[in-house]
Chains A and B, each alone.
Chain A
């Protein structure tokens, strides 16, 4: 039949072929294990936003609400597999890493268009990295990650579709970090230095806010709603090759109060809502009674497991000495009633915690459950007796020294559904042990700054889990900028070597592990290193983890393909797969 093809047909097929070669959309994995099926195009999906976005410039303001919206407007070079959390191509179609682990070359996806029709290319990527992400003046950039050992990461355009990053030394978590949202140079190129913070204020015409994401901005009504519509140029399809997103539009209703969000969900004004264990029974009851929604539990990787930290550098020298003693922290762990906390605070919707790594994280988690011990006040009492902490004056409270009671201030967040009941449970159990706990409530948003200031004795707090421990290095490496329970290890100047001489032997070991793992490229070796760290963590308890809460969400029955997402996790966006039944 070939010989009968007319020139027009030939030309057409040639055009088609070149079109196919140029536009290479990404096929989404099937995700059958997550219950994903082929969806239906059309429909609208409404989510809640905790407050008005402060700007539309993702790198100009640190703002969780903007992050939630930006997640739908922009993409990074790579993204997570929604099921395995493995890194997959996004705006980069493929990449190579040089054998020495220092040079990363990204081949960009061909034929990707911005939502205004302009072509996406290497200039956009270089612009985003140089002027936004690695710009020290950009308030929400990440310049710190682009200076390694005091040397800058070099970012070059190789050709129109290739970008190269040259690192001063190998950094195995580098690829994982390249989920930074790429921004359009043709819209933002004119902003330099600190000016980038002023780009795209909330009164910018929506048409100027251009992205590659599944949706584009349609309207913004201050204090009420952010309206997005489907981006017809989106580069991803479902497993069958149908263009994503399925939805026609995505709305964010601005609702500040969590209770008001629940009311709006029950009224059907919003279609999906992440809730806490405390809100679970009420919603589940309604679901069982026939309400048109489902409440879903998922043991996700992300999410913040709470812990108790004792200040090694407490102002009171007697307490500081006690808190620095591993035997004391281990004794007190026996008085932490984890099952009761999981039961009453989380309504059973939590599990025993890992040590710095979520149990569901198959790549790194090591089972440390045995080291958590069992709640046993008598054993805790004996351990304290052995330390010489006894009630010498018969007033029911143990004494640190002669005439001085063991009395600890516990700092916790009052505006939370979990910290206050947890603090009370700890207070009661510790009291039976003869340790007096005074509760000191502050705003949850001030917990970290209080921790960093060192102005506390014992604190209830939480840090989010991440897929790779390297990403949480400032928290768990002794001397790191967020390792606040032993602040005296932190270097005088940020970025310099911490005070190694003051480290306890196990802290030095953990310190070395993180240093070694951050330059080791072999995956198996890194896994082994982090396994040792988790065991050291469980054994020496720099902080005492309490529980790993489950993630709970409520979703209207009108929608299919719902996959839990915690919030702003660049590179983890299941919304394009959601469809209206």
Chain B
């Protein structure tokens, strides 16, 4: 059984991005929690997954734009790790910034499971939603901390006129 993806999935785009931006520890914790509480996905599910290609660390050339929106230019590289697995006929891919093979591999596994209609609903509610909440909280904290440094400058008139 092999399921080809026919059109770019907005959901898939979202979950791959969310999981890549979630720190590995948080992702692992939530995944373990999800396995224990839902009892739907076998705990040894990883054993059913085969690597499509070896996990690999390499570089992605980061591009910027002159003045923020003009012509493109190369800023520099960043380390990126990618994994590709097949699990029960679904192909999963994991791409993350950095060099954590565990992180990339876990995302690839979860990407495959998330495409599986059998698990999708459960994973959406017990994995993705909590992760999105967590990320929202972290971002909020940063916003609030920075907002405390918001400054109002006053110009003071000097001289007689």
Chains A and B are bound partners: no
Chain A residues close to B by CB (< 8 Å): none
Chain B residues close to A by CB (< 8 Å): none
